[in-house]
Amino acid sequence: MQPWPGQAYPLGASYDGAGTNFAVFSNVATKVELCLFDEEGAETRVRLHEVDGFVWHGYLPGIAPGQRYGYRVHGPYEPENGLRCNSSKLLLDPYAKAIDGDLEWHEALFGYRFDDHAEFNDLDSAPYVPKSVVINPFFDWADDRAPRTPYHRSVIYEAHVRGMTINHPDIPMALRGTYAGLAHPVMIDYLTRLGVTAVELMPVHQFIPEHSLVERGLTNYWGYNTIGYFAPHDAYAAQTTQGNQVQEFKAMVRSLHQAGIEVILDVVYNHTAEGNHLGPTLGLRGIDNTAYYRLVEDDQQYYMDYTGTGNSLNARDPHTLQLIMDSLRYWVTEMHVDGFRFDLASTLAREFYDVDRLSAFFDIVQQDPIISQTKLIAEPWDVGPGGYQVGNFPPLWTEWNGKYRDTVRDFWRGEPATLGEFASRITGSSDLYQDDGRRPFASINFVTAHDGFTLTDLVSYNERHNEDNGEDNNDGHSDNRSWNCGVEGPTDDEAVNSLRQRQLRNFIATLAVSQGVPMLSHGDEVGRTQNGNNNAYCQNNEISWVDWKRAQEHSDLYAFTSSVMELRHAHPVFRRRRFFRGRPIRRGDELRDIAWFTPSGREMTDEDWESGFGRCIIAFLNGEGLSDRDERGEWVTDDSFLLCFNAHDGEIEVTVPDGGYGEEWAVVVDTATGEVHSRTDNGVLGIGQQHTRPEEARTVLGGARLTVADRSLVVLQRTR
C-alpha cells in the first residue's frame, strides 16, 4: 500500500469522504510507519515518506471511519540524552479523535527489560495497547447554540459522567454511566430544577489506570491520567464502534445546550499517563520525548515532576503548545464545549522553575480568538515550589478559590479569628482579584469538590478513612478543616444528625449568597457520602457513585438547595458584577452599598474586626446600590437584604439595624428550620418543601430583636 503525499496539516487522521490524511510530528524520528489494523488485529505497515517541518504525512484513499491505527517511530534510543524512540512500541496518535480498546499491562509496554533496566526492550507492544481510530467528522448540530451564560449568572455543577447516572433507576440500563445517560431528560430536568447553568465534567479525555492500581484490583476512576487529548473517553459511551463515542458526546452537548446548560471540561494538560522514566511508552514518549516532556536539565533520563504523577508536559516547546491549543480549539469548534477547568494550572505557567503568570501559554490563550472567548477556570496550584497561586492568574481567567473553601469551612466549624477573612470571601475576595481589574466572578466559590470530603462527610468525619484505597490510610489530605458534630461517622443520635443537616444547609446557603460563582459538587445536594474517604480517585464503585436511593431520603436537602439557588438567580444583589465599595454608589444616596453590624445592631469597628472571639456578624446588602447597568443602560436595582451569620454554639438575640436601613424585613431563609421564601423574576414559585411567597414569611421590624439559632444563617429581605 503506497500512500499519496497528503498534507502536513492538520495533524492527526482527517477523513474527507474519500480517504484519510495522516500527519504526525516528530523532530527526532528517522523513519515513521503508519500501522493499520483490521478487525482480527492483523497489522499492515505503511511508511510515511513525506516530511515537512518535522511533520510526517501521507494520504490513503479508501481509508474510512472506524479504521484502527497507530504509529511506529524509528530513531535514537538514548535515555541519558532524553531520546526514547523504540519502533517495537505501537504508539497512539497524539491527535487521535477516538481511541478504542483497553490497555493490558505487559512488559512489552516498556522501553526497558524488567530484569535489567539498562537493556533495550524490543518486545512488540501492539497486542497490549489501545488503538487510535479514524472518525466520521460529520454531525447534525441542528440549531445548536452556545448558552453563553455570563459568569455572574452562572451556577456550576461539578460532575462525573459515570458516577452521576450509573445507579439511577429512571435511566435505561444501557445508558447508565454514559454521555447519553447524562443527557437523558431525567438528568436534564434534575439539573434544571436545581438551578444549574453549567456542568463541569471531570476528565473525559481518554485515560488509563495506573499499573499500581490495577495490581491492587483498583482503577483510576477520576480520570486524571490522560493518553488522548482529542478523544472522548470510550468507556463513557453506550456504543464505541467506529468511534461512535464522538457522536454520542456531541449529542450530549447538544441536549444540554437545548436546556440552557453549558458544558465545561476538566482538562489535564500538565502531565500524561506515561509517568516517570520507568513508565510505559504509549505515545508522546516514543514520538518525541524531549519536545513533549520537561526533563531534568543535567540528567535527561529523568522527568521534572510538578504534578506528583511522574512527568510534566513541556509547555515551553512550540509543538507541545500547539498540541494543547489545537486540542482546546477542537473541543470548542468541533465538540461545542463552552469552557475548561485546567487541572494543576500552575504547571502550565512554568517557563523555567518558577510560576510565571506571563508564560507563553497564557500569552497564546489571551490572543486566541476562539479559546479566549470561552470560560477559563484555573486550579491555581501544583505540587512544585511556589505552586500555590490563588489570585495570581491573568485577568482573562477565573480561579477555584481555595481560600474561600478553607475560610468558610473554618467559620462554620467555629474556628476563632475568622470574621474578617470570612467577610472578604463571601463578598468576592477583592483582596485577591480587584487589583488586576478582575471582577467578583473571578472567584469560583466552592466548599467541596471531587478532591476531598463530600459535603456530608465534611460534617460527619474529623479524620479521613481511606483504608479501601490500599495505602494504609496515608493518601489524601490531612488538613480537611472538617467537624463531625460530636460523633465520628454515622450515628443514631438525633441531635447530632439534626446539627449535621443544619451545617449542610449553612454551607449551601453561604454559597448561594456569596459574591462570585458558586460551584456544587455532584451529589452534595442529596447527601452523597464516601464513608469518610477523602481521596476516592481509585474507587469505581458505590463509594464514589451517587446513591439515588439515598437521594430520595434527602429530597428535603435537594429542595432547599434548589430554593436558595432560585433566590440567587432572582436577585442581582447576590451576584454583583462589581465589587462592593463601602460607600454610596450615586450622589445623594444615604446608604452605602454594604454595611457590617455586630449582633447588637451597631456598625462594626476595627476593634470588632480584630477580636478573635467573634463568631456572629450581620451584613447589609444594598439592592439599590448595585453599581451596574442593564442591556439598555439603565441602573439595575434590587431588594435589599440582611445576612445574619451565627457560628456560635448557642442562639443569639440580634438587633435588626434601623436608622434608614429598613422599616420591615421578611425572613426568607433560615437554615435552622430549612425554610425558604422567595419567587423568581417571573413570579413562579420554586419547588422547596417550605418555599412560599415572601409575604407569607415571618416579618421583623427594624430595631427589633430576632433570635438566630446556634450555627445558623438567617437571610432577611426588606419589605418596606
Nearest alpha carbon to residue 456 among 508, 399, 386: 508
DSSP state string for 470-489: TSTT-SS-S------TTSSS
Examine the residue annotation and report whether 379 is marked as an active-site residue of this protein: yes
Provide the CA 339 distance to its chain's centre, in angstroms.
Answer: 10
Could you give the angle at the alpha carbon of 322 between the alpha carbons of 156 and 53, nearest 5°?
165
> Which secondary structure element, helix H or strand E, spans residue 643, and what is its range?
strand 641-646
Could you give the angle at the alpha carbon of 324 between the alpha carbons of 321 and 327, nearest 5°?
145
457: Cα within 13 Å, side-chain hemisphere? 25
- Residue 701 is given by DSSP the state E
Which residues are CB-contacts of 672 (< 8 A; sequence separation ≥ 6)? Answer: 502, 708, 709, 712, 714
Angstrom distance (rounded) from CA 585 to CA 324: 44
DSSP state string for 440-470: GGGEEE-S--SSS--HHHHTT-SS---GGGT
- Antiparallel, parallel or unpaired: β 262-267 and 226-232: unpaired
* 512 contacts 567 by C-beta, under 8 angstroms: yes
Could you give the angle at the alpha carbon of 203 between the alpha carbons of 289 and 509, nearest 5°?
140
* 27 contacts 288 by C-beta, under 8 angstroms: yes
- Beta-carbon count within 10 A of 83 CB: 16
Residue with cell 451517587: 546
- Antiparallel, parallel or unpaired: β 517-521 and 594-597: unpaired
Angstrom distance (rounded) from CA 265 to CA 37: 31
- Beta-carbon count within 10 A of 717 CB: 25
State the catalytic residue, choosing from 210, 274, 317, 379.
Answer: 379
Examine the residue annotation and report whether 467 is marked as an active-site residue of this protein: no
Angstrom distance (rounded) from CA 120 to CA 113: 6
Q: How many helices (H) and strands (E) does the chain have?
A: 16, 33
Angstrom distance (rounded) from CA 209 to CA 218: 8
Nearest alpha carbon to residue 425 among 165, 142, 231, 617: 617
Angstrom distance (rounded) from CA 355 to CA 395: 16
The residues with which 35 forms a beta bridge, in sequence order, are 45, 70
Burial class (CB in 10 A: 0-12, 13-18, 19+), 367: exposed
522's grid cell = 455532584
Phi/psi at 520 (5° precision) = -100, 145
Per the document, the length of the chain is 720
Identity at 157, one-letter amino acid code: Y
64's grid cell = 474510512
* 546 contacts 160 by C-beta, under 8 angstroms: no
Phi/psi at 61 (5° precision) = -65, 145
Nearest alpha carbon to residue 511 among 448, 442, 586: 448
Coil, helix or strand at residue 283: coil
State the catalytic residue, choosing from 43, 100, 274, 343.
Answer: 343
Which residues are CB-contacts of 163 (< 8 A; sequence separation ≥ 6)? Answer: 177, 221, 522, 523, 544, 545, 546
Nearest alpha carbon to residue 542 among 389, 47, 533, 98: 533
Nearest alpha carbon to residue 620 among 634, 589, 641: 641
Nearest alpha carbon to residue 404 among 515, 478, 483: 515
Provide the CA 667 distance to its chain's centre, in angstroms.
Answer: 34
Q: Which positions are annotated as active-site residues? A: 343, 379
